[in-house]
Amino acid sequence: MSERFQVLAKDGLARAGALATAHGPVETPVFMPVGTQATVKSLSSADLEALGARIILANTYHLAMRPGHELIRGLGGLHGFMAWPGAILTDSGGFQVFSHSGRRAIDEDGVTFQSHVDGSPQRLTPESAMAIQAALGSDIAMAFDECPPSDADPGALAKAMERTTRWARRCLTTLAAPGQLRFGIVQGGTSLPMREAHLAEMAGLPFDGLALGGLSVGEPPEVMHEVVAHVAPRMPADRPRYLMGVGRPQDLLAGIAAGIDMFDCVMPTRNARNGHLFVPAGHLNIANTRYRSDPEPIDSACPCEACRRYSRAYLAHLFRAKEILYYRLATLHNLQYYLNFVRGARQAILDGRFADYAAERRALGEGGE
Amino acid sequence: MSERFQVLAKDGLARAGALATAHGPVETPVFMPVGTQATVKSLSSADLEALGARIILANTYHLAMRPGHELIRGLGGLHGFMAWPGAILTDSGGFQVFSHSGRRAIDEDGVTFQSHVDGSPQRLTPESAMAIQAALGSDIAMAFDECPPSDADPGALAKAMERTTRWARRCLTTLAAPGQLRFGIVQGGTSLPMREAHLAEMAGLPFDGLALGGLSVGEPPEVMHEVVAHVAPRMPADRPRYLMGVGRPQDLLAGIAAGIDMFDCVMPTRNARNGHLFVPAGHLNIANTRYRSDPEPIDSACPCEACRRYSRAYLAHLFRAKEILYYRLATLHNLQYYLNFVRGARQAILDGRFADYAAERRALGEGGE
């Protein structure tokens, strides 16, 4: 396992590493833009290349429902389908099935649910979730886990944890795509003892990396930070550590400080579409009237196309007019911000000044509207 | 006037020319993509450059309502606002005011109407329409005309024509932006004698070019072709001739054959968003199930980003999933098709084989769904 992942430098608990995937190396820590339906919303794969993205996330559940994983397999897998030469991580579909589907029924074998596209009955099991990911041909496949609701009582949490372990073993018995890595998911809610217990189980399985699931699902950020600070340093040091679905820039700093290597979140892309643009001093809301005639770019130091070429005034106009171009420019900017933010953290770790970097960014980030 | 426009070659009645604008030369015949709200829907100015577009159209009415022409003037005019280095033609706002506004009242001085953005009362006169276009800083400003409905009776048509002439004279008394050209608009509905009469009036005014307005507003295409075939060759030969709001590829061929130099139409951009993609054999409807697993590009000979990089299957998926990227890729393709179609016509005129080109394209274009 460890020959695929190397820790190149440590600075406190923070790590700078490199993960070899079937579609090239990924420098860590890394932020993965979310491409739910085989496109990072509003962006082309050329746009992602221009941003310097090396790995993106795609959603197994959405793609299995539409257009279907066998169709994608026939078109060269996700890489061929979306013409993306970089790495792709697919989630297992579990999170969507557990949180987004209306009616669903869980049994020991798997989950029965309704398609969000056409309402048809569907079923996912550990084996089928991995088979779908093999058909998609992702570089990293996630194990199919049971995601308990954020308000689950300790008994339900423990049951979900135990089932996740049994399902993880079943995931490992399936055929992977060529070169495909597999990550297990550590559950346990916000209980530190349960997290430790589940980590001990999962660390013993031959996954290529481990993820923390079931966080950033409604608990206060400080609680999430506490869990990450406690659990991340206890995760196997020779394998990548992935904090799923997190988060705000300050959450990334907290995760990196605790030794997390990988992140994904819809925040930069979703917020962009809502007018929330990240800047070093926090963020700006492009809907604010003050930007209507502002000739400055979003961030004069940002190298993205939106900042190189357009004013806040133009973006404010496009936003008000609901022009499609707004969504692309805003998404380009927010992803550039996130990618550069994490690249900056990586360089700081390599330079042995991560604490200073984090302090500077936290101090700056107190601004915003 | 004529030093700004040169006819470089003639082939039958078709002309290949060059129009010098304040933002560079424009080779004619030319198709102008429509950028209603200071963006060709879904495209950036870099996208337009990549397509080889040299001139686009923007809508005076929409921009005056939102974000406002004085705001745009303060940000460097339309060119600065949308970061577009090429040429821009602005319409006069007349067409929108006459056809799209709910309540409106016409008098000899101008038109009172309600804003589509906030319902506020607004007024456009020949003088204010030209002043707005001067503030926008377009390269070509259109005279403010009265656009009669397509079913207007001869009496109403004649009245609108006469008023358009009086308004055209008033337009010419206003200050233009530096280097801004001005085009007059010939009305007269589908009546050849009225078109001739109005042309005689307008040709006597010192406009830099003349346009045919009030066509492609509901009349049968053959009627429109008949009017264009009759009137275009009678328009001043030393000035550019612009057929407003036209049209389908076969309409462009008919216009070019009659000596038209400039076209604009929302068809390639609007149809793209509806799934209608132009190909040499006619068009394909990306919603058709046959494309769901089709690994071929829209058109393997097309140089646009959509065709260079993506399959019909991927576009069909994006279209079904209503992904923003679909709109951009489809728009890039349809505009590339239109621009290359008209560039091909220009080259054919220069080569003295326009009739063959038109026949070949017409024969091909009989396909489609």
Q: Which value does ipTM take for this structure?
A: 0.97
Is the predicted pLDDT of residue A59 greater than 60, yes or no?
A: yes
Judge whether B261 counts as a catalytic residue: no
Assigned token pair, B20: 């010098």
Task: Give A314's contacts in chain B (Cβ within 8 Å).
Answer: 38, 75, 81-83
B214: alpha, beta or left? (left if phi > 0; alpha if psi -120 to 50): left
* Confidence bin at A2 (pLDDT 50/70/90): low
Please pick, among B11, B47, B264, B299, the residue that the annotation labels catalytic.
B264
Q: Is A241 helix (H, G, I), strand (E, B) or coil?
A: strand
Please pick, among B11, B91, B139, B261, the residue that the annotation labels catalytic.
B91
Q: Which residues of B touch A (CB under 8 A)?
A: 37-39, 41-46, 66-67, 71, 74-75, 81-83, 292-293, 295, 305, 309-311, 313-314, 316-318, 320-321, 323-325, 327-329
Three-state SS for chain B is: CHHHEEEEEEECCEEEEEEEECCEEEEECEEECECCCCCCCCCCHHHHHHHCCCEEEECHHHHHHCCCHHHHHHCCHHHHHCCCCCEEEECCCHHHHHHCCCCEEECCCCEEEECCCCCCEEEECHHHHHHHHHHHCCCEEECCCCCCCCCCCHHHHHHHHHHHHHHHHHHCCCCCCCCCEEEEEECCCCCHHHHHHHHHHHHCCCCCEEEECCCCCCCCHHHHHHHHHHHHHHCCCCCCEEECCCCCHHHHHHHHHCCCCEEECCHHHHHHHCCEEEECCEEEECCCHHHCCCCCCCCCCCCCHHHHHCCHHHHHHHHHCCCHHHHHHHHHHHHHHHHHHHHHHHHHHHCCCHHHHHHHHHHHCCCCC
Instruction: State pLDDT tens for residues B248-273.
Output: 999 999 999 999 999 999 999 999 99
Chain A residue at shortest CA distance from B296? A75
Query: Residue A364: what pLDDT?
Result: 86
Task: Give A81's contacts in chain B (Cβ within 8 Å).
Answer: 311, 313-314, 317
Instruction: State pLDDT tens for residues B28-61.
Output: 999 999 999 999 999 999 999 999 999 999 999 9
Q: For the residues A247-257, what does the mean pLDDT come to? A: 97
Q: Yes or no: say if B318 and B325 are a contact pair by the CB < 8 Å rule.
A: yes
Instruction: State pLDDT tens for residues A130-147.
Output: 999 999 999 999 999 998
Query: Residue B101: what pLDDT?
Result: 52
Of A45, A71, A295, the CB nearest to B292: A71
Chain A residue at shortest CA distance from B69? A293
* Confidence bin at A104 (pLDDT 50/70/90): confident
Query: Residue B2: what pLDDT?
Result: 56
Q: How far apart are CA B362 and CA B129, in angstroms?
A: 39
List C-alpha distances in Å: B122 to A4, B102, B110, B115: 66, 12, 11, 6
Chain B residue at shortest CA distance from A73? B293
Query: A314, A319, A320, A332: which to substitute to probe chain B, counting the most B Cβ within 10 Å?
Result: A314
Mean pLDDT per 10-residue section of chain B, whose length is 369 residues: 87 98 98 98 98 98 96 98 98 83 84 90 95 98 91 90 97 97 96 97 98 93 97 98 97 98 98 97 96 98 98 98 98 98 98 97 72
Of B66, B311, B327, the CB nearest to A75: B311
Query: Residue A190: what pLDDT?
Result: 94
Assigned token pair, B256: 């070019």
Domain range A2-265, its CATH number among 3.40.50.2300, 3.40.50.2020, 3.40.47.10, 3.20.20.105: 3.20.20.105
Q: Yes or no: say if A27 and A56 are a contact pair by the CB < 8 Å rule.
A: no
Query: Residue A151: what pLDDT?
Result: 81
Is the predicted pLDDT of residue A100 greater than 80, yes or no?
A: no
Query: Residue B151: what pLDDT?
Result: 81
Q: For the residues A285-306, what does the mean pLDDT come to? A: 98
Query: Residue A147: what pLDDT?
Result: 87
Query: Residue A101: what pLDDT?
Result: 52
Tell me if B323 and A37 make a contact (CB, 8 A cut-off).
yes
Q: How far is A329 from chain B (nearest CA, A)?
A: 9
Structure-token match 């612009």, residue found: B242
Among candidates B241, B329, B249, B242, which has minimal Cα distance to B282?
B249
Of B83, B293, B323, the CB nearest to A39: B323
Model-level pTM greater than 0.90?
yes
Query: Residue B242: what pLDDT?
Result: 98
Assigned token pair, B18: 């060059």
Of A44, A295, A305, the CB nearest to B305: A44
Tell me if B83 and A38 make a contact (CB, 8 A cut-off).
no
B90's enclosing H/E stretch is: strand B87-90
Task: Write out the DSSP string of A129-140.
Answer: HHHHHHHHT-SE
Q: For the residues A241-261, what does the mean pLDDT come to? A: 97
Task: Give A75's contacts in chain B (Cβ within 8 Å).
Answer: 293, 295, 311, 313-314
Query: Residue A102: what pLDDT?
Result: 62
A64's enclosing H/E stretch is: helix A60-65
Q: Is A315 helix (H, G, I), strand (E, B) or coil?
A: helix
Query: Residue A367: what pLDDT?
Result: 54
> Residue ranges of the domains in chain B?
2-265, 272-364
